[in-house]
Structure 1
Amino acid sequence: MEEKGSGNMEYNSADDAVPGRTEQILCQPCSSKDKQTVADVFCLTCDEFQCTECSNVHTTHAFLRNHKLVNAKEVKTKPVSFDMRGLDQCDEHHKVLEFFCEDENQLCCSTCAIVDHRKCHSVVEIQKIAGSSASESSKLKVKLQEVNEKAEKIVKHAMSSKEKLDQDVKEVSLTIRRMRDDVMKMFDDLEISVAKDAESFKTETFNKLTRKQSDSEKHVADATKSIETIDNVYQNGTPLQQFILEHRIKKQVDELSSNVDKECQRLETVTVSFDFDDTLKLPPLSIADYVPGQLTLKYFVPEAVKPLIPLDPIVKLTMITSIDLKQTGDDAKEPLYKGLDFLPDGRLIAVDNKNRKCLIYNEKLEKVGSYQLSNMPQSVVAVSEEEVAITSGRYMTIDFLRVSKSNEITLIRTCEVKTKYDSICMKDERNFVVGTYDDTTPVRIVSLSGEEKDFSINFPSKKYPIGTSVCTYIRNSDKVVLTDRNEHTVYIYDIKSNTRVVVKDDQIKEPRGVAVGPSDCILVCSNKTNSIVQISQTGRILSSYKLDMELPYRVCISKDKSLLAVSSNLNGGRKLQLLQVTY
């Protein structure tokens, strides 16, 4: 008999007993490693048969000691649970998810809890909190139903647009044919020429609409499948499985909803028409010399589905406060802030390269905390509510510091890397995107544990000297933004399509710091024009804001996109400013 679940179990049921054969229940952890070991105990909390050696983990780790173990021979069968099809398995360790880290909002298996979350303050058993958020599944279901309806709307619109487009193209030919009786040869040539262009447009547009229809049909299928999964789990699954499903599927639902919302905002109605000139020149004239009319090929978004907010809103900046960065106290040199970032609670973190300091500022740009670093810092990024990471360039390390609510800074650990890193930002919860210097790969990925790897994109093999390039990352669209100071250029790399956009404009002179702003626009410091330039992801210059400082150097934006901080690098006149962001 084989039971559905995460492990393997072998035994003879009472109905199938064979004289002389003894019942054997195998250890499930051993079976997953292709080892045949007889189980000695059954853990009611882990819901797993284990041998003596595997069960010893319950005495080794404190948070497992309250698990209840019983003699394996006393347990004939395990209750049949709903088949989660691997959703209740850890992606990394392929073990049952038993714990939930409230600090990092992550599901964990026993290995995750021990290895990756041992420093977290609140790691609890899912069994104890399962069922406490029953309303979450209903919210997910409602959201999926909305996704379903919107995706179906897109499918119907695409089908209707194709029918209308087909009819419009036919009407072009009919219009021309009605005139052909009066101007014979010219309109024969005209029909061939114009119909060819119309058909070409129709073919191109059909392909776009078919892809849009296909994508939205997939969204419908994905939403329907997820709704069925939610219904199935809540009808047949345990509270533990329901809790796991909510957390596993929430990100997928958010991404699906975002994709469908974007498609709804981009619905276009395509028309084709042909209008004759007011004054017709009569034959004999070659169609190449004169076309008595104009083929109009047009997209437009109906008023009913136009987005309320423009896709690329113009960012407006308003000065809040400004301070001069002067040498004071124990400073050995005039401060130079090479790294800036906001903590989630709105406090500003800055790193002073010249004086090897990490500093904290409040909402009034009052210094409320300071820490002496051992290396010269290059850049800083907020990792979580109370943790930041700082690159140190030629020392090839990343320092992790704790920044408490009371503005105390302590060193947590130092991670050694193999490359010289300058700029740093978050890629996701587990990885950074870092800008290199003196290396042929300008941008790399580094995990929180220091594992380094490259993007799957062909960056030009160019070494940037220190201070000539920085980068940032747009998570929602998987794009890397790279500045080239000497070339007065901003590059936007699309990782998915392995393409890039090159942005060169008279408003961008010696680009330095760069940040991701509202609606994922790009905000870049133009050093020589003393301004912050706003660029769309497609490379369009949206606006330019003249700053009340010379040589703007580094820029960052708060998590809620409401505040912007910028520092300058003018010798003898360096500043740090805080600005309000509206759009």
Structure 2
Amino acid sequence: MASNFESSIHRGCDFIHDFSCSPCEENGFNTEAHHYCTQCTKYYCQNCVSKHNGLYQKHAVLGRKDVKKWEAAPGVVDALERCGMHPGEALKLVCGDHDQLCCYVCVAIDHRQCSKILHIPDEAKGVQRNIEFQQIPKKIAEVQKQFEKMKEARLKNMTSLKKMRAAISDEIKTIRKNINEILDKIEKTTLQDLDGMIAEIEINLKKDIETCDKMTIELQNMIAAFQTKAKSSESKSYIAYRKSQGMISQANDHLRGISTIECYNVTYQPNHLIEELLFSIKTFGAIEEQTVLTKQREDPHSDPNHVFSVAEYKEYNVKISDDKHPYVIRSVCEMPSGEFVIADFNNYKVKLLDKEYRVLDHCDVPGDSWDVCHIDGNEVAVCVNSELHFINASKGKLVTTRKLSFNHKCIAAAHHGGQLYISSGTALYVYTMSGRKVKKLYEDKYGGNTVRKCAISNDGKTIFITNREKHQLITLDNNGNKLALLTDPDMKGPTGVHVTPAGHVFVCCIDSDTVLQVDKDGKKKLATLARKEDGLYGPGDLLFSSSTSSLIVGGFKDTLLVIKLN
């Protein structure tokens, strides 16, 4: 039991603790208790226990390590028996209408209008002999084992992630090394160009220096010779004069040649493209998360355009002794428990079937039962003339709870996203669960049965409508805009339409006695899955049961046709 006390269950935005601090709870706060006073018989959080201990120093206060003693203390409600909505109250009752455990506060606030409020001791009689009760520990152990396997898989996944990280890190380092080598090569080539240019300039500078040295020496010699010859005969002086002029002219030519270049400089113009490219690149590559789906999700049937084939056809009789009129099954829906609810149009009945399609219970409705749709949990809604009757289906029983009335016919209904989609035969309306009209989504007044039934995709973005009058399947978006219109020789008088959570779309046609599969966009037929020779007669509605991979079809017969699909 102690392990239960260590946990908490998230509910909405609050946490339901095994023990909530009593003073905090009185002040409207939800705080987990860590202490229990045996004299005060109250729970305290860390903050409140300090104030308590200051006032009552001699009281015996138990901590979390003594939580078993909390449970044994007088007035303490066992965590298992504590109401989830009102933690201070014990579960004493069961609401049969909602199949829900309740405390007295629950009944007073939420179940005052319910007709079946049962006492737990009465309902619990013989429960220990119940096979399902006896199998609970085994089922819990199985679920626990699955969590242990899941934990083991996740731990292995963490180890594999570390290995992946190391491998990717090595790959990045290799890329970095390659980039470094490329940059080293670019640097080497650039420096080689620089060294080659400076070497050529140095050659030119050395030539100029050598010319300067040579001319300086020759000019010095010429001055010495000129001064010597100038004191001798005029002839020698004249020769010295002429050679000196020639020497000066030659020297000036060298000076002009050298002086045209005042100085040699080397400049560097960086290639910023490299920096710009590197600056624009944030990572060495894209890091993406990849999830490997389970085998169940990898099932090819998860493809909305996967074309099914038929494994077998089988009929199940759903007639009961109270049936007085020819049988017409207008609608079929499946409950979360795997049970089925069908609408018997001619006999003004709604019937509850078990997983083997055996009738468990039935209830009468005040008129033609046109359609039945699953709402939520154990609740279904049945279209009766211009009303929608809500029925609770639990523990093998059907109980009518409430109804909504409309100012138009109600021949088909669907539920999605907390809203009701109601067909009047020529229009499709959207209502809130309380019966307030939101909008008229679509209308076709040119005929008497232009909006027969509708089905809504799992994401709520696509709506399929059967137009029996014009032999069409119409596809709308959730604003009522027409996306597609499908006709086919096998589609005569389409009545029922069903879309699975994976997006498969099925249609049954009352005039051509066919069951069709169409693509997810409602634009083309993918397959004809059943005809009259397969046992189909006047099909009114159909349903795909994912638990059995079967189509359940109802029509002008006292049997359901179950089509097992591959």
TM-score tier by shorter-chain length is 0.3 to 0.5
Q: Rg larger in 1 or in 2?
A: 2
TM-score (norm 1): 0.46
Structure with more of its chain in helix, by fraction: 2
Q: TM-score, normalised by structure 2?
A: 0.47
